[in-house]
Amino acid sequence: MKNPPIYTSEPMATRALAAEIRQAPEKFIDLLARRCGIVGLNRFQGVRCEASARLDLELEFAIPESFIVGIEAKFDHELTRDQVDRQLRVADHLVVLLLGEEAAPSWLVSLDRVHVLTWAEALACFVDSRLTVEDIASMPVPKSTVESCFRAQHLDQRLPEGWRVDVRRGGGGMPAVEIESPILPNGRTLRGQIQVAGRGMPQPGKPILVEYSIGVSVPATAQEYPDPELPHPEPGWVEPLRALNREVLCGEEQRLLVSTRMPGKGNSEFGKRKIPLAKKYLHDTLWLAKGYTDGWALGIKSVNRPLGELDEIASATVEIFTRWYMAETERLAASTHAFG
């Protein structure tokens, strides 16, 4: 007989784990002691659910004073640095419980008193656990699945040394790979992301679409977004975008998956100026000036592709970034030499 999953949410799973720990704590505590490097983790006092600083589980020991090991379980929700810092203020050690070690954010491994444990390792401590690996595998984790796909692209290894690559949740809580180049001679960087398209995860059964955004850094200042109706020097982002089109994209837009749709209009003061400025300087290539005027970047976006075609999006992203960075480096060097 096939047993369907019983525990189908994160709170259910963590409470079930607490019950297993309370019933038979010995092997689990041994595992915690080894993982945390704590000698003499004994005199177990008990386990609490949803305890201080919203810890999922709080294990208390007396060795000889009160000693707290906190456990924070994550399936599909984001683990933030602020959350970890708050929890470390109430726990002597924090164990983050994940589906796999690869799901740990890159910044987590460098923190003192913070350790990673997988659900499979935890459940192996209990004989005939009522909470099973099948229960864990049944949890809906669309965002974590996308993040695993992003990490599997190993963009940090595919881009030159010195580039920053960070798999993280974006401003709307959506999975993304944030990418930024070393600083160029003019003080700007090339930056962007590969991300889930749209403002939210699609409904179950609908395809997950991904896209890239690639641009040059543009501070949110009046110098970068002058009034188009008044005399002004050419904004500093214009020539890098011309160079992107001239040296990298021209004639290869389809192969590189570039979207040539019109950019959207912003509602802020600078947002309203972006399109008129792009028309003035970029003429019929307005699609080079996509992006928000919030201080991040202006540049191009790709057409949307299913998650199964992520490798094509990632390959195009790597090619565009590396070729554009080389072209910008050479252009700026030539400009310096000409005026030197």
d(CA 24, CA 12): 19
Could you tell me if 296 and 171 are in contact, meaning their C-beta atoms sit under 8 angstroms apart?
no
**DSSP conformational letter for 220:** S
Which of 334, 332, 329, 296 has the alpha carbon at shortest distance from 160?
329
Identify the H or E element spanning 120: helix 119-123
Confidence of residue 241 (pLDDT cuts 50, 70, 90): very high
Query: Rounded to 5 degrees, what are φ and ψ at 163?
Result: -80, 145
Give mean pLDDT, residues 172-199. 92
Residue 120: which of 97, 144, 96, 143 has the closest Cα?
97
Between 99 and 280, the more confident residue is 280
Q: In the prediction, which pLDDT does 336 show?
A: 65
pLDDT at 277 over 60: yes
* 206 closest CA partner among 307, 313, 75, 309: 307
Q: Cβ(226)–Cβ(238) under 8 Å?
A: no
pLDDT for 114: 95
Asked whether residue 107 carries a pLDDT value surpassing 90, the answer given is no
Compute how many other C-beta atoms are within 10 angstroms of the C-beta atom of residue 309.
13
Return the structure tokens found at 12: 């259910």
Which pLDDT band holds residue 1 (cuts at 50, 70, 90)?
A: very low
Q: Which has the higher per-residue pLDDT, 298 or 168?
A: 298
8-22, 130-144, 283-297, range with the lowest pLDDT: 130-144
Residue 279 bridge partners (DSSP): none
**DSSP β-bridge partners for residue 215:** 191, 299
Q: pTM higher than 0.85 for the full model?
A: no
CA 217 to the chain's CA centroid: 19
The percentage of residues in the chain with a pLDDT greater than 90, rounded to a whole number, is 66
* Type of residue at 320: I
The three-class DSSP label of residue 242 is helix
Q: Is the dihedral of CA 160, 164, 168, 174 positive or negative?
A: negative
Asked whether the predicted pLDDT for residue 282 surpasses 50, the reply is yes
